[in-house]
Structure formats: C-alpha cells, structure tokens
Amino acid sequence: MTYHPNYGHLGGHPRNGGGFRGDNRFPTRQDRPFRRDGAPEQSPGHTAGTEEAKQLLGGALFPLCDSPSLRLDKFVTVGNKMKLREIRAVVSLHNRIKPKAPAFVPHSSFRTFIGTLRSNLIVNQAGGVLENAGISIHPHFNVPVLPGSAVKGVARHAAWLQWCAEKDPARKSDLAGRIARTFGYPTRSDTLDKALNAANTAEQSGSVSFMAAYPCNESGEAAPATLAVDILTPHGGNDWTDPVPNPFPVVAKGTSFKFAVGPAGPEGAQCVEDAVRWLQKGLTEGGLGAKTAAGYGAFKIAGVESTEPKKTYTLRLISPAFLRGAEEDEGTLRESSLRGVLRYWWRVVFGSVLSERDLKKLETIIWGGTGKPPMASQIVVRLVPKKQTAVFSFDKESVARQLPSSFQSKRFDKRQNRTVITAPGLAYASYGMDDSGRRRKVIEPGAEWTLEVIFHPRNGMEANVLAVHMDLALKALCTFGGVGAKSRKGFGSLDCGKSFNLEDEDVWPAVVNAVTPFGMTPAPDKADAYSMLSEGMCNISVRLGTKSPWAAVDRIGFALQSTAASLKHDARKAATGLPRKIHGPLKDKLLRHQTWETHQNPVDLQSEGAVKNIPRFASPLFVHVSSGENGMLKVNAIAFSSGLVRPESVSREVLGAYLENLKNILSETNWAANIRIRRPIHTS
C-alpha cells in the first residue's frame, strides 16, 4: 500500500483483495484531489480502509511501522523532496531495531567464507516504491541480503574476465569448458558462447549453487548490519547541467557477509573450487552491486590478495577542503567524488585533441556508460586513508583572527553587539560554507590517501594504455583542479607528486598516442570549448612567500573579489559563471550608500552564447594551490574562454583580467613568515 499526501491511497481497498478495481479511489472526476490549475487540494477519495491502515501505523508518516522492508517497499509517503526523508526513516528504523537473520548452517559439501565490506554497498538500486532505492532488505528477516543471483553474477563475470585475458589457445579452450560446467551454457556472453558453440558444447545447466549471503560477525554467526544514507550528484558531463542529488540507502562499510557455494549436480564437486576462486576474485577486485567502478561494493577476504593489474598513487591534501557526502560521512573524501573529478579532467585533457563525438565515444569505452548497450568501466578507483587530519566546523572569523593583520577587516556588528574581525578574501572564497545556519565541516591540509586504480582491459586493450589515461587525468587534477566545494577557488587542492606541464614537449604526443589504440584520429581543430590547446586558454603560475594554505586561499579570494567588484554593474561578468546578478542588491530598496538617482533594481543575467536557457554555468576559471620548493606554496590557475555564455572575445577579456589581477596580487603580497592556523574555535 502506498500513500500519497495529495492523491491518497494508491492501491486497492484492503478488503477487496488489495488490487485497484475500477474507480474505487475517485468515484467521479469532481472527487479527484487536484484542481484544473494543478494546485493540490485535500483529497476526499480516501477509503475507510486506507484511513484505518494509516491510523494503525500512526498516521501519514507511519511511525508505528516496525518493518524496514515494509517501510521501504510499501508504506511510503511520496511527494516533492520526500525521498531523502523516507530513506532516512528506513535507515534509522533498521539501525534502531538491529534485526538478525536466522543462523544458516550449510551442508558439509558447501564451501563457506566471510567477506567484509571495505566500502559502502549498493544492492537492488531499482527496486521498491522509491525508484533507485539502492538496497535489498529481506521481507521476513529485515536484514540486507545479497541474492544468490547477484553472487553468481559476480563469480561468472570474474570467470569471463579471466577467459578474455587468457592468450594460450589450449588453456583458453579448457577454461571455457570449466565455465560452462560451472555456470551453465549458454552463458549469455556472445564471445564466450561463440567459442563454446564452435567446440560443439551441449546445452546444460550450472552444476554449482550460490546461496544468498547474509550479515554475520567475524566468526560467521548471524549479526546485525549497519545501514547508512549515501548520495550521488551527477553533473551531466559539463558545466551547465543543473546537478540533481540522488540519495539512497547503503550497507555501511565494515559489515561482514557469509558466502556459501556448493554442488548442484553430479559434476558440482569438481567445479566448487573454481566457483569459490572466481567469486572471491570478483568480490575483491570488482565488487558486488551497483557503482563498483566508483569504489562501492568492494570486499576484503582474509588470505585473498588481488592479482588484477593496478597502479597505486599517494594523494596529499594541500589546501583545506569542504567535502560532503551524506550526513554521516561529512568531511570524508569518497571514491565516487574523486572518480567524478578525475573523469572531468580526463575530458579536458582528451577533449583538447578529439572532436566532441569521438570524445564521448572514448569516454564510454574507458569510463563506462548507460547507453545501449550499457558498457562497464575499464577503470576502478579505490581510496585507502593513510594519514588523517582534523575535521572541524568551519568558522571564517576564527580563521581570520589568526591571519596577518594586513589581511583582516574590522566592523561592528549591531546584532551581536561586538566588533567582528573578518578576512574579506577568505569570506569571498568560502562564501556559503558557514552562512546557511549550519557550518560545513572542513578538513585541515596534510591528509593523505592511497589511491588504488584497478584496470579491467577489454577487447584486446592493454592495461598500460589505460594507465596512461589515468596518469594524465590525475596529473591534470593535481595541477589545476581540486575536490569538494569551492575547489575552483583554491580549496581542496591535491598533490600526487606529478604535475601536468603544458610547456613539456612530451605531453601532447603522449595524449595522442593514448587515443590511437582505440582507432581514433586526433583532431585538435575540432576540440570542444574547454581545450588546453585552444587560443582561448590562458594560465599562470605564481610562487608564494608562505607555507600557509589558509593565507593562500585568502589572497586568492581577495584577488577574485576585487576583480568581480570592478565588474559590479557589468553584464559581461556572466562569462565567469551563472547564476549571477548585477545592480541592486535589493529590489525597490536602498542601502545606506545608495541614492535613487544611482540605484537600479537587480537583474538576473542570462546566457547570450551557444548554450541557451541554462540556470547554471560553473566558473571556467580554476585556481589550484600546490606545494613548491622548501615547503613554500605556489598557485596555478587556468581559464577556458569560450562562446558558451558570452561571445568568446568578451569571455577572453574578462577571464584575462581575472588572471592578471590574481597574478599581481599574489606577487605583490607582503607575506608574513610562519603563519600557523590553529584549529578554529567558534566565536559567540
């Protein structure tokens, strides 16, 4: 049964079999709970059974429903912006009652092992009333369950990858036969089935059973799992699509599951060992569930080491970062977020030498896509925390008090009845991070992670070619980009020990050589707007006289603010991003320094370029703080002028002014020596 706040009961009457019959809900057109203009009205179409069910469950929000699976799949209040609240309710209910599955004792012929999640797990992302719910909860036991079909799919995929990678014809043929005996034939893999058909393999069912996996403890005994709320925010692959956050429930990392594999036929006993090995390989190297390429669903199993081709990097946080996923992991760098920015900078690098059509095609081949047919990613990223630093609520006034006096500004706040010390540059660069009623968490510089990149080459591709793509994307990110909020203003800058040197003669030949194995011809003259080789791209690099990242982001903000102030009433500043206003700031109301002769009502700037009717256009100016010689910092900035929002000549002029002002201010700043920012303490 589903209840909608405007449309009432969305199922049949509970006393007539539960199905929708005729017009039980709305006997007449006039009874429908909406008006011609679309405004909701109180629905008179609720049946007595619906009201009775609502009362038994405690009202429209169902507080007395003590079944997480029922709450997730049936009793849901749907409506505008209700999804996150409903997911929170399911997660809170499950973690409060802590259900456990009955103890499962497999037959002695079954092989069992325990796998522990090293990252959050998404299962059944398209089930239940909440579309893309993201989790499968057992209807009777109310625990997250990994269906046997999903477990078998992981093992079969790992076996198929091994078959694809095998070069020796004899071993490849033998491996194909073992896969057919274990999982059945046809296998639903076109290439493998063609090979088996050529060998006159008879149709057969699989000889191995894969049982559903349930949460357990380290000893394999049934134990409660922990659920959490997670979120993904797709950006559409560009800077003007309005991102829509998509929340979903997950099984939290650290939860263990018990897997059981056993014979299902006469040949099963001979195939169990292969099945277990493939399953363990798939769980540790690929993962289970959705979004495994972004690090979700990865397991660690005692005694099992990955043999998949991979590369490791050390990432270090250079400037403070505002990182935020779901509520529980605010202040954590997540694989999905890192993968998103890596993919972004990969597009910038390879979009410099490919046409837009070829770039999208190559992106789908390497990073995966949801087209027809869908294609899995050949690059999987995973993060392992190596060194942690403090995570605290950001207070720009507390930081400003510790910056040099020349960076500070004082004003008397009548509401607080005290003198407030601010750093205008820091306030501008971090706008919104502590002004919305809830301070954002910030990570202090110095945190480190180990980045593991696993390659899944297909169709004869070599892992070393994929590694070149990863190297170039990571170096571009660690030279010009960042992670988290305000990353284009210097926050969240990372260092990987390598940089993307635009003046290096070997850089672009390496980019070209990386696309030719895919049968693509470089065409820099057809590159998109964000090209590092276009005349509209400009960049600067400035060495600073400070080791303090907080001082650096303050001066960056100060330079950006002063340039924006010079364009206060100039519509050309739309080239630096939308939404943006000019004039005002208040409508039909003056500030102290304004007069009616000079006041103009605020105007929302609109796009006048190639991309029309867009509510958002992210800044094409990227500022990055990086480590320099003797511990001193330096700033790299790059700007991509284009005709997307304003004519390219206007865009180039405006962005050039930003870079010139940034360079001058950073070069002329009288940096105070040995600036050390302690953990900010909230001011009252």
The 10s digit of each residue's pLDDT in 408-448 is: 998 887 777 888 888 999 999 999 998 766 789 999 999 99
Q: What is the DSSP letter of 526?
A: G
The region of weakest confidence among 1-10, 398-407, 612-621 is 1-10
pLDDT at 436: 60
- Cα separation of 549 and 557, whole Å? 12
490 contact partners, CB below 8 Å, separation of at least 6 = 319, 429, 482, 552, 553, 556, 557, 623, 624, 625, 635
Average pLDDT of the residues of the chain: 85
pLDDT at residue 3 above 50? no
Instruction: Report percent pLDDT > 90 for the chain.
Output: 54
Tell me, what amino acid is at 280? Q
Helices (H), 203-285: 268-281
- Domains of the chain by start residue, with CATH: 3-97 (no CATH), 111-308 (3.30.70)
Mean pLDDT of 30-59: 52
pLDDT at 671: 86
pLDDT at 136: 83
Residue 187's nearest CA partner among 173, 199, 203, 175 is: 203
Is 308 within 8 Å of 456 (Cβ atoms)?
Answer: yes
Q: Which residues pair with 117 in a beta bridge?
A: 299
pLDDT at 418: 84
pLDDT at residue 9 above 80? no
164-193 confidence digits (pLDDT tens) = 888 899 999 999 999 999 998 888 888 888
- Cα separation of 274 and 200, whole Å? 22
67-119 confidence digits (pLDDT tens) = 888 878 776 665 666 778 888 888 988 999 999 988 777 778 899 999 999 99
- Cα separation of 355 and 666, whole Å? 36
273-321 confidence digits (pLDDT tens) = 999 999 999 999 889 988 888 889 999 999 888 777 789 999 999 999 9
Residue 60: pLDDT band with limits 50, 70, 90 = low
pLDDT at 94: 92
647-658 confidence digits (pLDDT tens) = 999 999 999 999
pLDDT at residue 660 above 90? yes
pLDDT at residue 395 above 80? yes
pLDDT at 41: 42
pLDDT at residue 675 above 50? yes
Mean pLDDT of 341-345: 96
Bigger pLDDT: 594 or 561?
561
Tell me the whole-structure pTM to 2 decimals.
0.85
- Cα separation of 610 and 107, whole Å? 66
Residue 593: pLDDT band with limits 50, 70, 90 = confident
Residue 678: pLDDT band with limits 50, 70, 90 = low
514-556 confidence digits (pLDDT tens) = 999 999 999 988 888 899 998 889 999 999 999 999 999 999 9
348 contact partners, CB below 8 Å, separation of at least 6 = 476, 530, 531, 532
Q: How many CA atoms lie within 13 A of 157 on its CB side?
A: 19
User: Helices 463-480 and 507-515 sit at what angle, rounded to 10 degrees?
Assistant: 140
- Cα separation of 647 and 268, whole Å? 68
pLDDT at 123: 73
SS3 label, residue 475: helix
pLDDT at 551: 95
Tell me, what amino acid is at 219? S
